[in-house]
């Protein structure tokens, strides 16, 4: 063994795949939450040592922020796509909730929503991280509100509808579905609950929505 080889400090693998490392870190944070995830958990999952993790991602909080962005763009993006792509307000809300249920109950991923569950036990001293994750949730809330407002403008909801209150209700149901999935409630049962919920919102067919459908 050469002197260079013997004295070289361990570091990141030469073929270090940052995207794959983020995905593995996401699975750990998703399953254990930020507070309960240790640096050892992360290094074991990614396959690098602690100095290499710090060199690649900074500290644990910085890595968590990157993971949240990845989740929001990938798994979490299903909500935004549903809200923007479905032809009616009713279809948009239903699709948003059901696509999330599919993700929350997938056997390939931890159950529930990472953005909801990942910081449940953060506690004091992590206000910046709390605000960071809250802002990501707010993106979905704003899009839900805009979609419901459009539905009211088009007559799909009564013009007197309290769009703000309906938005809060939809977000409460979305977050609740995450906890229900974590508790092991089946996908079919969650789907049925969404059917009942959406039917209660007061959507009605209009000439415009019929043409779009």
CATH number at residue 139: 1.10.357.10
Token output for 78: 């299903």
Q: What is the pLDDT of residue 137?
A: 82
Q: What is the pLDDT of residue 153?
A: 95
Q: Is residue 10 part of a domain?
A: no
Domain identity same for 60 and 86 = no
Q: Is residue 6 part of a domain?
A: no
Residues 6+ apart with CB under 8 A from 199: none
Q: How far, in Å, CA of 196 to CA of 128, rounded?
A: 37
Q: What's the average model confidence in pLDDT over 22-43?
A: 90
Q: Which domain holds residue 141?
A: 77-207
The answer on pLDDT for 130 being more than 70 is: yes
Domain identity same for 52 and 93 = no
Q: What is the pLDDT of residue 208?
A: 52
The pLDDT confidence band at residue 8, using thresholds 50, 70 and 90, is very low
Q: How far, in Å, CA of 153 to CA of 140, rounded?
A: 20
Q: Is residue 213 part of a domain?
A: no
Q: What's the average model confidence in pLDDT over 172-188?
A: 92
CATH, residue 58: 1.10.10.60
Write down the pTM of the prediction.
Answer: 0.79
The pLDDT confidence band at residue 192, using thresholds 50, 70 and 90, is very high
Q: What is the pLDDT of residue 128?
A: 84
> What is the number of domains present in the chain?
2
Q: What's the average model confidence in pLDDT over 177-198?
A: 94
Domain identity same for 143 and 202 = yes
DSSP string over 33-100: HHHH--HHHHHHHHT--HHHHHHHH-SHHHHHHHHHHHHHHTTTHHHHHHHHHSSSHHHHHHHHHHHH
């Amino acid at each position: 063994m050469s002197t260079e080889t013997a004295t070289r400090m361990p570091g990141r693998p030469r073929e270090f795949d940052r995207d794959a490392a983020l995905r593995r870190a996401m699975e750990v944070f998703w399953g254990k939450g930020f507070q309960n995830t240790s640096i050892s958990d992360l290094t074991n999952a990614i396959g690098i040592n602690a100095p290499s993790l710090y060199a690649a991602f900074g500290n644990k909080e910085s890595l968590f922020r990157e993971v949240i962005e990845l989740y929001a763009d990938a798994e979490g993006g299903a909500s935004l796509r549903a809200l923007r792509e479905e032809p009616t307000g009713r279809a948009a809300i239903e699709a948003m909730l059901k696509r999330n249920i599919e993700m929350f109950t997938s056997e390939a991923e931890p159950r529930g929503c990472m953005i909801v569950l990942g910081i449940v036990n953060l506690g004091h001293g992590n206000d910046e991280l709390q605000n960071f994750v809250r802002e990501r949730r707010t993106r979905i809330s704003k899009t839900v509100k805009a979609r419901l407002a459009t539905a009211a403008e088009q007559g799909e909801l009564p013009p007197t509808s309290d769009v703000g209150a309906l938005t809060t209700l939809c977000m409460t149901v979305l977050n609740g579905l995450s906890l229900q999935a974590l508790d092991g409630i089946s996908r079919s049962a969650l789907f049925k609950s969404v059917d009942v919920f959406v039917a209660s919102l007061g959507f009605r067919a209009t000439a415009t929505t019929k043409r779009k459908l």
